Amino acid sequence: MFSKTFGYALRATVYVAVHGRIDKKVGLQDISEGLGIPHYFLGKIMQDLVRHGILDSTKGPSGGFFPNEHTADIPLTNILKITDGNLVFDQCALGIKRCNAEHPCPLHDDFAACQMK
């Protein structure tokens, strides 16, 4: 349902939001040790988060990751979309192919209400 990658991304974002500022960047090493996430793998995930504007980063000595003006307001679902794509959002909660507004499954309406696309 949710990938491990999503969990890592979420936790790393919170970690940077809590520990970092523009004048106090958080290094990859620091995050991966602090959260127990494989170093190289987390690198890839962080790349993605920065690319999508969830966080900012700089290279070079004393470089690292830090929150930007949006970070605190980003809906969790944005991160979910980045790591896991839209699958959770555009398919039936019960996996029924012909489920739609006309022929809703028992969960259709409740589920639609919390998808907030």
Partner DNA sequence: CAATAAAAAGAGTTAAAACTCTTTAATTAT
Partner DNA sequence: ATAATTAAAGAGTTTTAACTCTTTTTATTG
Binding site for DNA (CB under 7 A): 3-5, 8, 26-29, 38-41, 43-44, 46-47, 50-51, 57-65
Q: Are 63 and 28 in contact (CB under 8 A)?
A: no
Q: What are phi and psi of 33, to 5 degrees?
A: -75, -45
Nearer to DNA, 77 or 104 (CB): 77
Q: Interacting stretch for a second copy, rule CB under 8 A, among 45-53, 56-64, 66-74, 95-103?
A: 95-103
Among 59, 72, 97, 116, binds a second copy (CB under 8 A): 97
Residues of this chain, 20-49, that bind a second copy according to CB under 8 A: 35-37
Distance in angstroms (rounded) separating the CA atoms of residues 108 and 117? 15
88 binds a second copy (CB under 8 A): no
Least distance from C-beta 62 to a second copy, angstroms? 27
32 backbone φψ class: left, alpha, beta (φ>0; ψ -120 to 50): alpha
Q: Which of a second copy, DNA, none does residue 95 bind (CB under 5 to 8 Å by kind)?
A: a second copy
> Closest separation between CB of residue 87 and DNA, Å?
8
Of 63, 85, 73, 83, the C-alpha closest to 8 is 83
**What is the spatial distance between Cα 11 and Cα 113, in angstroms, rounded to a whole number?**
26
97 HSE (CA, 13 A, CB side): 0
Which residues lie near a second copy (CB under 8 A)? 1-2, 7-8, 11, 35-37, 94-97
